[in-house]
Structure 1
Amino acid sequence: MSKIEYPTLVPELRFPEFVEQDGWKPKILEEVCDLQAGKFVKAANIKSEKDDSLYPCYGGNGLRGFTESFTHNGNYSLIGRQGALCGNINFVSGKFHATEHAVVVEPKEGVDNSWLYYELCRLNLNRFATGQAQPGLSVDNLYRVDTHVPLVEKEQQKIADCLVSIDGLITTNTKKSDSLKLHKKGLIQKLFPEEGKRVPELRFSDFEGDWKPASIAKMGMVVTGSTPSTSHTEYYGGEHLFVSPADISENRFIETTKSTLTTEGIRKSRVVQSGSVLFVCIGSTIGKTAQVKYDCATNQQINAITAFPGYDDDFLYYLLSFHSLTISELAGKQAVPIINKATFSKVVLMVPEEKEQKRIADILSSIDELISALNKKIEALKAHKKGLVQRIFPYLERVSE
């Protein structure tokens, strides 16, 4: 009978000082680290908000909340062992509580702690989960997972240092992006009047006078989308964007969509002009708002608003974003929330003169551009890290003899 084994492997990309070293040695996790399940804590003792007297509490799906007790103090990788996200890896520092649904990982002698974290992330441990209704990972099964380890700990450290530096850049830029989002949120609340008021708290010095009430129908042409027949395959797979609520994220502009239309398909749709504002009016994501850069089409869950003369498209995006929650409440409580076109069109909001609209839109757009640039940098760093991991860790192959 053929015997299956793992060979010694060499990664595609290696730091120069380790090129002459032997390949990475095959091991199982039991030889690399000690694994220990955490300690049970009552759900009632897990708080949703942190204060100085509480410690992070990690369970099967990552951070659960905060507790008065802690089980560990130091730097550890944690493996989620229960739930839909079992196999997820977190690296935790300081005092924390690990529940029985998390496995605490401690490296053995000769294994770098940070390198081990990246190796665990790479192993895709979720594939070893058992059970359907409630997938889980047992410590015994985890111990038998195959891995490869550089024999020289300094090589492990060099790999870890490289990846830690990239993660540091990702974290730094993420914090900058989050800070800008928070600043923008606070600024919007001051640049638009509170309910029942006719002027905002913060205003540019060269503008005065009350803002005027105007319905959405007065501000722009409202178009409800439609879906070309899916039985006609010739309508789909072209170069024209076809927007559904799933395509609307926290980003302002829609630049890609899951489905696209051919020229023939978009002729069967209601074309939305570039610059128009999109507002989800049906379904669980009612109130989501976006803006389009290019002519496109939307499905029937979305109303598009194209500004009339005297009204600025960009301002309308921020205006509807600011009032999205209030407008969403018009749907009421029903199985499938819906705001029909007539009701949506009659919504009255306070609006300034066009010059003030443009000034408000310009300052908020400048912040959005900074956020967008940071988000693109973050995505580029993540892609670079992913590609690097594929090259500085060896590809695991099984060979028979």
Structure 2
Amino acid sequence: MKRPPRFERRDESLGEIPQTPSAESGSHAAGIGIRVGRVREARATQVSPGYKRTEVGTIPEDWETAPLGGICSMKSGETITSADIGDTSPFPCHGGNGLRGFTNRFTHSGRFALIGRQGALCGNVVGVSGQFFASEHAVVVTAFPQTDILWLTFVLGGMRLNQYSESSAQPGLSVARLLLLDVAFPPTKAEQRAIATVLTDVDALIGSLEALIAKKRDIKRTAMQQLLTGRTRLPGFGETWEEDRLGELAKMVNGGTPPTSIADYYDGHIPWITGADIEDQRVAVIRRHITEEAVHNSATNVIAKGNLLIVSRTGVGKLAIAPCDIAISQDFTGVIPDRNRLLADYLFR
């Protein structure tokens, strides 16, 4: 019979768990709660000097608010057929989901913001410049003279415009509705441009960091191919590698689900996970805790901390190292290596 380790859910930082208060102490606590609530409410209504409260939030006193229609115009692009789009024509053709290809004519010249009006990326915002063709699935945003287009592109990108799409089989945005959305804006174009410059610099930094991360990942991938196959040996290690079946090097343990009809089984202290709980090669969330009785009376098994978890059913192929002693569903195979011959971390990598 399986005897999992006993589990205790503790948080020492919280100290002792307080006992149920008496009626008198409860009344006193309620009074304190009311006062604290009023203080928080008062703080929430306070506005820092130099700022004001508006329908779009707290903004600097010299900033203004207006509907988008007061600072820019919006218009859908033109119809184009697939036959008119190729790979070698001179002008880029932008649609609702980004660049569609190239064509022999253009509809716009200059700097604009484009909003995906229909498609999977409905509400997506990009900045474009030069001569290009905008299809009917893209909304072309033209800034009025007092508005910096790059600043406006950042503003639109932060508004999560996809939330305003009309629900249907094919999500779509209404230009008329977008133009009524209120925004806050600095009073001068110079301040708008300064804000846009800072954000552009941040984007450039993020781009360079992402490129560096991609390069490091390539280096790691190459190192793994060399080190994990024995083609490259680390200094100080010259022993001959062994070859054996995984089943001879580790114990494979399957999981299971305690009957969900017995609610008491899911009111325990033993973490229990399914394949859906694995994200980015780790146990991202533990949604349920089961009892020792649930372990004894079902096919689930408790995998000790530090062993390998492989999702072999729903979400097949996902991996994680058990962050604690943890019970697994039938989605998993737990791999418990012979510690004298193989490390779980080595298998995981």
| TM-score, normalised with respect to structure 1 | 0.60
Distance in 1 of aligned mates of 2:243 and 2:90? 48
**Paired AA for residue 12 in structure 1:** T
Q: Does 1:215 align with 2:245?
A: yes
Distance in 2 of aligned mates of 1:237 and 1:13? 48
Structure 1: tracts of 5 or more residues without a match:
1-6, 194-199, 319-401
Q: Is the 8 A contact 2:90 2:102 kept in 1?
A: yes
Q: Is the 8 A contact 1:9 1:24 kept in 2?
A: no
2:243 alignment partner, SS class: strand
**Paired AA for residue 187 in structure 1:** A
Give how far 1:277 is off.
1.5
Q: Does 1:310 align with 2:341?
A: yes
Q: Does 1:179 align with 2:215?
A: yes
State the partner residue of 1:134: 170
State the partner residue of 2:307: 276
1:212 alignment partner, SS class: coil
Query: Would the alpha carbon gap of residues 41 and 297 (structure 1) be closer, same or farther in structure 2, given more than 3 Å must change?
Result: farther
State the partner residue of 2:7: none
Map 1:107-122; keep pairs closer than 5 Å: 107-122=143-158
- The answer to which structure has the higher helix fraction is 1
Structure 2: tracts of 5 or more residues without a match:
1-52
Map 1:55-66; keep pairs closer than 5 Å: 58-61=94-97, 63=98, 66=101
Q: Is the 8 A contact 1:241 1:257 kept in 2?
A: no
| TM-score, normalised with respect to structure 2 | 0.68
**Paired AA for residue 302 in structure 2:** V
Map 1:151-162; keep pairs closer than 5 Å: 151-162=187-198
Query: Would the alpha carbon gap of residues 95 and 201 (structure 1) be closer, same or farther in structure 2, given more than 3 Å must change?
Result: farther
* Of 278, 283, 288, the match for 1:260: 288
Query: Would the alpha carbon gap of residues 229 and 162 (structure 1) be closer, same or farther in structure 2, given more than 3 Å must change?
Result: farther
- Greater gyration radius: 2
* Of 40, 62, 65, the match for 1:25: 65
Bigger relative CO (Cα 8 Å, ≥ 6 apart): 1
Distance in 1 of aligned mates of 2:250 and 2:322? 15
Which moves more between the two structures, 286-295 or 298-307? 286-295
State the partner residue of 1:83: 119
Give how far 1:314 is off.
0.9
2:301 alignment partner, SS class: coil
Give how far 1:302 is off.
1.6
Distance in 2 of aligned mates of 1:32 and 1:265? 65
Q: Is the 8 A contact 1:46 1:57 kept in 2?
A: no
**Paired AA for residue 309 in structure 2:** L
Give how far 1:274 is off.
1.7
Distance in 1 of aligned mates of 2:114 and 2:199? 18
* Of 218, 222, 225, the match for 1:189: 225
State the partner residue of 1:397: none
Q: Is the 8 A contact 1:8 1:26 kept in 2?
A: no
2:234 alignment partner, SS class: coil
Give how far 1:311 is off.
0.7
State the partner residue of 2:74: 35
Distance in 1 of aligned mates of 2:201 and 2:178? 28
Give how far 1:271 is off.
1.2
Deviations 1:12-58 (A, max 9, x none): 364xxxx5x2x42222x2322232434535289567xxxx9998764
Distance in 1 of aligned mates of 2:265 and 2:114? 48
State the partner residue of 1:228: 258
**Paired AA for residue 181 in structure 2:** V
Q: Does 1:296 align with 2:326?
A: yes
Distance in 2 of aligned mates of 1:279 and 1:55? 49
**Paired AA for residue 282 in structure 2:** F
**Paired AA for residue 261 in structure 1:** H
Cα root mean square deviation, aligned = 3.6
Query: Would the alpha carbon gap of residues 168 and 286 (structure 1) be closer, same or farther in structure 2, given more than 3 Å must change?
Result: same
Among all aligned residue pairs of Structure 1 and Structure 2, give the percentage whose two residues are the same amino acid: 32
2:303 alignment partner, SS class: coil
Distance in 1 of aligned mates of 2:193 and 2:232? 52
Query: Would the alpha carbon gap of residues 46 and 207 (structure 1) be closer, same or farther in structure 2, given more than 3 Å must change?
Result: farther
Q: Is the 8 A contact 1:237 1:259 kept in 2?
A: no
**Paired AA for residue 257 in structure 2:** T
